[in-house]
Amino acid sequence: SSLPTLQVCSPNSSSSIGPSGFVASMLNFAIGGAAVSGFANVYRYNRDAWMTDVQVTQNRRLQKQNVLLSQVDMFRQDIRDHTGAFSQKQGSYIVVVTLIIGMM
């Protein structure tokens, strides 16, 4: 029982592929498929790593912005405290100066 041969349509060659040539071509096809599959896995892994990196960078920027906004709020509260203390001190001075002037 012999296997049929497959004719290759090539303008430069009139050879035929026998059973061993068919197996070799199928093996080459399988190896090529494995390479493409491996490349796809590497691509997916690299894309996942890139997406994770993007999310981490965005979270870091957001955290930095929140820290800066908190710092600005603390500065504003410090200014409110200082102006409040100054106003209270000036109010006390006004009372004392009014009493001194009233005694004259």
**Do 6 and 17 form a contact (C-beta atoms < 8 A)?**
yes
Check residues 25 and 101 and name the one with the higher pLDDT: 101
pTM to 2 decimals? 0.47
State which of 72-76, 87-91, 93-97 shows the largest mean pLDDT: 72-76
Q: Do 46 and 37 meet the contact criterion of CB atoms below 8 Å apart?
A: no
Predicted pLDDT at 5: 54
The predicted pLDDT at position 14 comes to: 47
Q: What DSSP designation does 4 have?
A: P
Reading phi first (left if > 0) and then psi (alpha if -120 to 50, else beta), residue 5 is in beta
Q: What integer best gives the mean pLDDT of the chain?
A: 80
Contact call for residues 6 and 15 (beta carbons, < 8 A): no
